């Protein structure tokens, strides 16, 4: 829907208006009208059956059957051959990577990884690498971790190969960028569960399918951020280069790419984090590794699932920090090497190569295995580190699962309160209000807040939802998305403002964000259900925890980017720090906050299926069921409805920002 | 000048080290020989614990008694699992609950072959904790629920009673059943199985009333004392696929029982591997499965160890499979 921007925000010119034309008053009036209609005719007017296209489900199911038939009989021809080629390449790439890591032996892999990170990224990077390998070993999940590592490196690499050129193209051509945006939106909002099935039919099961599913989710941020980086190269620099006769290629290679270096790296980091957040879903279709451990652990050994989830987080953070350090160290703008420094580096490289080779040779001679040894086989009674860790996690889980515990006495009433006072009334309102007032009301809201075109889109999207026959389910999901977004935005704005004012908070938030973005949601939400055993609430919590870090990051950036002269001017007038914040910075960062709200909605929608798996029902459950029961039509329809909801919410909340957004694109 | 010479020397040493490494590594891999009577077999473990038990016992038997090299995958059931079998990526799925509409397509194309019963009959139904029967003995059958639905009320069901639905991947028709039987119950979706278990065990531990979709064999049935409510007997033309819609009265009968089948890929079935006949003969009971499942999920024993414990206790039965 929107791109993350850092552009300093222009001071808005506030036109004078009579109070009754204010957006807030008008929106309030619309909602009040909808409420009155709900009180009057609640439950009397569900979406009429005459306006539903019932046949679609069957048509989609037929399509799937046809696809399976083609696949089974080998009658797919060229299309399948192309996919097969890609599949075989991917399978081999990952398998080769994994084999190489195993072949090096665990010792060789750890030494090579650590030393390489140290050589190119410095001490901190080396430390992160060492820490990550230690985590793989201590948890007893060495092989699983290296398998996931091989899978993720391949997926990230291929994502960059596709994403960066597309991003550059989108950055240089506004038209191409606009053309691409809807696809990126769809890739980010449509739940992965919905496209797993087609992915499986085209790419079978295994590494290739896992890589493709991961790429679909990880490429969009890569394209978006790259495009943004290219676009934000100062116009005068580009013009200066052009006036000196630079060709298009020279312009790209010597001006645009080097100057957008930092953004490109941000793109790399985000690609890594997005990819790592797909490990568990990839595990469902043959990704293996840690994802498989989490999936089977959820049912048989939750402590193990949590442990594997933690390893995924460690891997994500290490990859993120290492790439960041490497990028900083190799930044040509900061790097001025003299002759002795160059020599030192060369010696370092040689030393690193030597030590790695020597280690591998010795390890091979000693017969060190590819897997980190599990001593429990040797000493039956010895408690391995993994068992100890699992024991600790289990203790916490046992406490959480005990309904007589002190915590439960607090969490249960809180959960019940949120459900009965907040969620159920809103759900009743949206699901039972006459369909035409909801449709009309939301369209009017879009008109008031964002203008005519967004209103038309809203009308079409809501109409589509009804037409697909999932109106009630979608309204159910909408009520949950609204509540989750509201909470996420409140938390996000609070933390974002605080982080913008305090460096300590900003630093402390970063690992929290990383954890929440990459820790598989089911891993922490299922224990959470024991604390708040009511439907919907755990799903809301999953949405809030996934969305608020993004909101807070955008708000923080927005406030930090408020033009310094405005802040200085206020200071010159004798404003206190608090006044500066409340009266200058926050109002001027209004657009960034709106963007935060908007992104928050997208993130909440991205976990709707997870919500469905922990008791939220609605569209999320339909999508999940569509996959596992082979109900293709059901899954696709629910996914399209989620996408339509996402577009609707985006249009209603995008406000006047759209105008400025267009000027940036 | 000396600098350059030094560098060249270092380079030579480096090259020598690399060459030595390659030699050292290449030699042992060339001489490796494996007992290759059975070859690789890929088993797929489904997400419920019963399936884990089946899979790991078979894995133990194939590895220790037949000499196969077994790999266990965790492909999700349903479409992905069957497509994987069709593509020859998975050889064996031990416990199929027959809930995939496109199953016939796969068997017709001979990509998936049914290898017969696992020896276990799956039962699906409405369950309550046994302690409820003390106060409400009439809950033995569904008729006893009529008028007493509010016993099961919860914050999310208002004045109605709450019925906790099952995992999205399982066969269900509870909404239609509730409507067809005219019960004042609200069907509440609890999500995936671990989420549903969290919901009802929490109520069970507090000795509160709870009514939910559940099944057997399931290892938790050993820990929690549950009773299956008697639903109306099956009649001719009774429907089970809720998605087909229509009059809910047509659904108002108990779930059928499901003889659980072993299914294998067509490739494996015709491979002639000694593992084939072992899979074909593999048969055990719900009690066996629950015993192993409880070791794994209840006692947190490692999956391989739990399988070994059972196999050692049932040497005779296992020998009949492999002979």
Q: What is the interface pTM, i.e. ipTM, of the complex?
A: 0.83
The DSSP symbol for B192 reads S
Are residues A484 and A375 part of one domain?
Answer: no
Give percent of chain A above pLDDT 90. 24
Q: Do B24 and A536 touch (CB under 8 A)?
A: no
Structure tokens given for B279:
């899979």
Structure tokens given for B281:
């003969």
What's the pLDDT at A373?
66
Q: Which of A80, A630, A634, A635 to mutate to test the interface with B (most CBs of B within 10 A)?
A: A630
CA distance A517 to chain B (A): 21
Residue A160 resides in a domain: yes
The DSSP symbol for A333 reads T
What's the pLDDT at B244?
77
Range of weakest confidence among A142-151, A156-165, B37-46: B37-46
What's the pLDDT at A656?
55
- Smallest Cβ–Cβ distance between A296 and the set B10, B47, B203 belongs to B47
Q: Answer whether residue A379 shows pLDDT above 60.
A: no
Q: Do A612 and B168 touch (CB under 8 A)?
A: yes
What is the domain-level CATH number for residue A549? 1.10.3720.10
Q: Which of A72, A308, A397, A525 to mutate to test the interface with B (most CBs of B within 10 A)?
A: A72
Please list the alpha-helical segments (H only) found in chain B: 2-30, 49-61, 79-86, 103-108, 131-135, 142-145, 174-181, 193-205, 220-223, 266-269, 274-281, 286-293, 303-313, 315-322
For the stretch A205-236, pLDDT in tens is: 889 999 999 999 999 989 988 888 888 777 88
CA distance B81 to chain A (A): 8
Q: What is the mean pLDDT of residues B139-165?
A: 91
What's the pLDDT at B265?
94
CA distance B191 to chain A (A): 4
- On average, the pLDDT of chain A sits at 84
Q: Which of B51, B195, B302 to mutate to test the interface with A (most CBs of A within 10 A)?
A: B195
Are residues A531 and A426 part of one domain?
Answer: yes
Are residues A261 and A121 part of one domain?
Answer: yes
B positions 237-296 inside 8 Å of A (CB): 243, 296
As a whole number of angstroms, the distance between CA A639 and CA A624 comes to 10
Q: What region, left, alpha or beta, does residue A574 occupy, with left being phi > 0 and alpha being psi -120 to 50 degrees?
A: left
B positions 85-144 inside 8 Å of A (CB): 86-87, 89-90, 99-102, 105-106, 109, 111
What's the pLDDT at A374?
56
Q: Is B223 on the interface with A (CB under 8 A)?
A: no
Domain that holds residue A363: 90-331+346-383+385-390
What's the pLDDT at B312?
95
Contacts across the A-B interface (CB distance below 8 Å): 205
Q: Which residues of B touch A200 (CB under 8 A)?
A: 79-80, 83-84
Q: Which residues of A touch B109 (CB under 8 A)?
A: 72-73
As a whole number of angstroms, the distance between CA A268 and CA A274 comes to 10
Among A159, A188, A5, which Cα is nearest to A650's? A188
As a whole number of angstroms, the distance between CA A595 and CA A556 comes to 12
| Overall domain count for chain A | 2
Q: A76 falls in which pLDDT band (50, 70, 90)?
A: low
Q: Do B83 and A68 touch (CB under 8 A)?
A: yes
Find which of A190-204, A383-397, A631-645 is predicted with most confidence, using mean pLDDT. Answer: A631-645
CATH 3.40.190.10 for domain B40-120+259-322, yes or no, is yes
Q: What is the DSSP string of A564-597?
A: HHHHHHHHHTT--HHHIIIIIIHHHTHHHHHHHH
For the stretch B264-288, pLDDT in tens is: 999 999 998 999 999 999 999 999 9
Per the CB < 8 A criterion, the answer to whether A479 and A599 are in contact is no
CA distance B89 to chain A (A): 7
Give rounded-to-5 percent helix, strand, coil for chain A: 80, 0, 20
What's the pLDDT at A642?
92
> Which residue from A minimizes the CA distance to B106?
A72
- Smallest Cβ–Cβ distance between A350 and the set B14, B52, B80 belongs to B14
Q: Answer whether residue B24 shows pLDDT above 70.
A: no
Are residues A411 and A314 part of one domain?
Answer: no
User: Look-up: residue for tokens 């429990």?
Assistant: A376
Residue A523 resides in a domain: yes
- Smallest Cβ–Cβ distance between A205 and the set B52, B83, B297 belongs to B83
As a whole number of angstroms, the distance between CA B166 and CA B188 comes to 9
**Residue of higher predicted confidence among A23 and A322:** A322
For the stretch A10-41, pLDDT in tens is: 555 555 666 666 778 888 888 888 888 888 88
As a whole number of angstroms, the distance between CA B81 and CA B260 comes to 16
Q: What is the mean pLDDT of residues A185-212?
A: 86
CA distance B73 to chain A (A): 7
CB-based contacts of B166: which residues, under 8 Å, 6+ apart?
A: B172, B174, B190, B193, B196, B212, B213, B214, B215
Are residues A415 and A351 part of one domain?
Answer: no
**Domain covering B122-251 in this structure, CATH number:** 3.40.190.100
> Which residue from B minimizes the CA distance to A390?
B300
Paired with B230 in beta bridges are B141
**Residue of higher predicted confidence among A265 and B142:** B142
Are residues A410 and A318 part of one domain?
Answer: no
Are residues A231 and A165 part of one domain?
Answer: yes
Q: Do A72 and B105 touch (CB under 8 A)?
A: yes
Give percent of chain A above pLDDT 70. 92
What's the pLDDT at B152?
94
Are residues A425 and A367 part of one domain?
Answer: no
What's the pLDDT at A26?
85
Q: Answer whether residue B169 shows pLDDT above 50.
A: yes
For the stretch A628-657, pLDDT in tens is: 888 888 888 999 999 999 888 887 776 655
Question: pTM for this structure?
Answer: 0.85
CA distance A77 to chain B (A): 16
As a whole number of angstroms, the distance between CA B281 and CA B320 comes to 8
Q: Which of A305, A426, A613, A626 to mutate to test the interface with B (most CBs of B within 10 A)?
A: A613
Q: Do B297 and A299 touch (CB under 8 A)?
A: yes
Angle at A601 between CA A600 and CA A606, to 5 degrees: 95
Per the CB < 8 A criterion, the answer to whether A68 and B105 are in contact is yes
Q: What is the mean pLDDT of residues A337-366?
A: 86
Domain edges within chain B: 40-120+259-322, 122-251
What's the pLDDT at B179?
93
Q: What is the mean pLDDT of residues B222-226?
A: 90
Q: Which residues of A touch B18 (CB under 8 A)?
A: 357
Range of weakest confidence among A97-111, A327-341, A461-475, B308-322: A327-341
Q: Answer whether residue B196 shows pLDDT above 90.
A: yes
Q: Which residues of A touch B21 (CB under 8 A)?
A: 357, 360-361, 364
User: Look-up: residue for tokens 């390489």?
Assistant: A116
Are residues A407 and A376 part of one domain?
Answer: no
- Smallest Cβ–Cβ distance between A403 and the set B86, B193, B206 belongs to B206
Per the CB < 8 A criterion, the answer to whether A638 and A622 are in contact is yes
Are residues A406 and A377 part of one domain?
Answer: no
What's the pLDDT at A21?
67
Q: B48 falls in which pLDDT band (50, 70, 90)?
A: confident
Q: What is the mean pLDDT of residues A91-105?
A: 91
Q: Is B20 on the interface with A (CB under 8 A)?
A: yes
Tell me if B40-120+259-322 shares its fold with B122-251: yes
What's the pLDDT at A15?
55
For the stretch A427-453, pLDDT in tens is: 889 988 899 999 999 999 888 888 888
Q: Answer whether residue A77 shows pLDDT above 80.
A: no
Long-range contacts of B230-233 (CB under 8 A, 24+ apart): B230/B140, B230/B141, B230/B142, B230/B254, B231/B125, B231/B126, B231/B141, B231/B142, B231/B177, B231/B181, B231/B255, B232/B142, B232/B181
Are residues A409 and A298 part of one domain?
Answer: no
Q: Which residues of B touch A629 (CB under 8 A)?
A: 78, 99-101, 168-169
Q: Do B194 and A360 touch (CB under 8 A)?
A: no
User: Look-up: residue for tokens 């409340």?
Assistant: A582
What's the pLDDT at B11?
58
Residue A618 resides in a domain: yes
Range of weakest confidence among A20-24, A182-186, A403-407, A611-615: A20-24
Give the other-Cβ count within 10 Å of A253's Cβ. Answer: 12
For the stretch B299-316, pLDDT in tens is: 888 899 999 999 999 999
User: Helix, strand, or coil here: A648?
Assistant: helix
Are residues A414 and A373 part of one domain?
Answer: no
Q: Do A354 and B195 touch (CB under 8 A)?
A: no
Q: Answer whether residue A182 shows pLDDT above 70.
A: yes
For the stretch B75-88, pLDDT in tens is: 888 888 898 898 88
Q: Which residues of B touch A197 (CB under 8 A)?
A: 79-80
Q: Answer whether residue A664 shows pLDDT above 60.
A: no
CB-based contacts of A92: which residues, under 8 Å, 6+ apart?
A: none
For the stretch A234-267, pLDDT in tens is: 788 888 888 888 888 888 888 888 878 877 887 8
């Amino acid at each position: 829907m929107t791109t993350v921007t850092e552009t300093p925000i222009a001071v808005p010119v506030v036109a004078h208006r009579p109070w009754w034309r204010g957006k807030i008053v008008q929106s309030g009036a619309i909602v009040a009208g909808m409420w009155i209609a709900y009180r009057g005719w609640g439950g009397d007017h569900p979406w009429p059956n005459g306006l539903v296209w019932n046949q679609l489900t069957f048509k989609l199911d037929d399509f799937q059957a046809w696809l399976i038939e083609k696949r089974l009989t080998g009658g797919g021809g060229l299309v399948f051959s192309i996919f097969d080629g890609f599949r075989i390449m991917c399978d081999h790439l990952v398998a080769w990577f994994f084999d190489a890591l195993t072949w090096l032996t665990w010792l060789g892999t750890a030494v090579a990884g650590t030393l390489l990170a140290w050589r190119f990224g410095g001490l901190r990077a080396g430390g992160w690498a060492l820490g990550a390998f230690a985590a793989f070993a201590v948890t007893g999940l060495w092989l699983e971790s290296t398998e996931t590592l091989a899978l993720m490196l391949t997926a990230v690499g291929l994502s960059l190969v596709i994403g960066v050129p597309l991003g550059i193209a989108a950055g240089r051509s506004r038209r191409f960028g606009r053309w691409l945006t809807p696809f990126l939106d769809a890739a980010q909002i449509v739940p992965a569960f919905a496209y797993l099935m087609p992915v499986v039919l085209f790419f079978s099961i295994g590494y290739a399918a896992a890589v493709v599913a991961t790429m679909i989710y990880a490429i969009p941020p890569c394209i978006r951020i790259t495009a943004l980086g290219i676009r934000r190269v100062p116009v005068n620099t580009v013009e200066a280069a052009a006036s000196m006769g630079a060709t298009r290629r020279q312009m790209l290679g010597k001006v645009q790419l080097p100057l957008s270096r930092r953004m490109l790296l941000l793109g790399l980091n985000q690609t890594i984090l997005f990819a790592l957040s797909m490990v568990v879903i990839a595990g469902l279709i043959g990704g293996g590794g840690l994802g498989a451990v989490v999936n089977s652990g959820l049912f048989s050994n939750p402590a193990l699932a949590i442990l594997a989830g933690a390893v995924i987080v460690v891997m994500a953070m290490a990859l993120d920090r290492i790439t960041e350090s490497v990028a900083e160290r190799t930044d040509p703008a900061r790097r001025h090497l003299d002759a002795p420094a160059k020599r030192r580096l060369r010696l370092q490289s040689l030393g690193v190569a030597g030590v790695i080779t020597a280690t591998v040779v010795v390890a091979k001679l000693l017969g060190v295995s590819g897997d980190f040894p599990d001593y429990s086989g040797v000493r039956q009674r010895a408690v391995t580190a993994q068992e100890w860790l699992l024991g600790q996690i289990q203790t916490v889980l046992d406490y959480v699962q005990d309904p007589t515990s002190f915590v439960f006495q607090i969490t249960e009433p809180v959960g019940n309160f949120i459900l009965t006072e907040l969620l159920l009334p809103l759900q009743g309102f949206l699901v039972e209000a006459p369909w035409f007032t909801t449709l009309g009301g939301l369209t009017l809201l879009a008109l008031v807040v964002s203008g005519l075109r967004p209103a038309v889109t809203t009308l079409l999207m809501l109409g589509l939802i009804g037409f697909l026959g999932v109106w009630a389910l979608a309204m159910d999901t909408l009520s949950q998305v609204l509540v989750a977004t509201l909470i996420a935005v409140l938390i996000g704005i609070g933390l974002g403002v605080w982080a913008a004012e305090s460096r300590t908070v900003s630093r402390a938030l970063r690992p929290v964000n990383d954890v929440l973005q990459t820790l598989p949601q089911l891993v922490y939400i299922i224990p959470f259900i024991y604390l708040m055993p009511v439907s919907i609430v755990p799903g809301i919590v999953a949405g809030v925890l996934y969305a608020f870090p993004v909101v807070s990051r955008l708000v923080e950036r927005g406030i930090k980017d408020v033009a310094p002269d405005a802040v200085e001017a206020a200071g010159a007038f004798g404003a206190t720090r608090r006044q500066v914040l409340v009266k200058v910075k926050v109002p001027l960062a209004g657009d960034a906050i709106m963007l935060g709200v908007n992104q928050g909605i997208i993130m909440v929608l991205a976990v709707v299926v997870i919500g469905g798996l922990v008791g939220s029902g609605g569209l999320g459950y339909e999508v999940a069921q569509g996959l596992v029961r082979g109900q293709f039509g059901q899954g696709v329809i629910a996914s399209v409805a989620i996408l339509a909801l996402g577009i609707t919410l985006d249009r209603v909340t995008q406000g006047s920002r759209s105008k400025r957004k267009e000027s940036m694109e | 000048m000396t600098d350059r010479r030094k560098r060249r020397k270092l380079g030579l040493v480096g090259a020598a080290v690399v060459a030595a490494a390659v030699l050292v590594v290449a030699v042992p891999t060339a001489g490796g020989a494996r007992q290759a009577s059975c070859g690789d077999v890929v088993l797929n473990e489904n997400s419920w614990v019963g399936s884990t038990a089946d899979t790991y016992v078979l894995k133990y038997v194939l590895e220790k008694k037949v000499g196969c090299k077994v790999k266990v995958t965790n492909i999700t059931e349903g479409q992905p699992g069957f497509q994987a079998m069709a593509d020859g990526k998975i050889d064996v799925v031990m416990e199929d609950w027959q809930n995939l509409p496109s199953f016939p397509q796969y068997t017709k194309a001979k990509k998936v072959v049914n290898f017969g019963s696992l020896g276990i009959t799956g039962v699906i139904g409405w369950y309550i904790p046994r302690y409820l029967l003390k106060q409400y003995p009439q809950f033995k059958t569904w008729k006893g629920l009529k008028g007493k639905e509010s016993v099961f009320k919860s914050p999310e069901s208002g004045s109605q009673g709450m019925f906790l639905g099952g995992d999205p991947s399982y066969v269900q028709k509870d909404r239609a059943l509730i409507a067809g039987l005219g019960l004042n119950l609200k069907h509440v979706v609890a999500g995936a199985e671990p989420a549903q278990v969290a919901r009802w065990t929490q109520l069970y531990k507090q000795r509160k009333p709870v009514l939910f979709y559940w099944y057997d064999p399931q290892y938790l049935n050993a820990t929690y004392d549950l009773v299956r409510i008697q639903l109306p007997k099956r009649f001719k033309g009774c429907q089970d696929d809720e998605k087909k819609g229509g009059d809910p009265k047509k659904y108002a009968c108990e779930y059928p029982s499901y003889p659980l089948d072993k299914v294998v890929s067509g490739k494996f079935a015709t491979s002639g591997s000694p593992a084939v006949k072992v899979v074909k003969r593999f048969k055990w009971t719900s009690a066996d499965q629950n015993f192993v499942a409880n070791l794994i999920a209840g006692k947190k024993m490692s999956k391989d160890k739990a399988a070994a414990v059972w196999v050692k206790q049932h040497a005779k039965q296992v020998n009949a499979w492999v002979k």
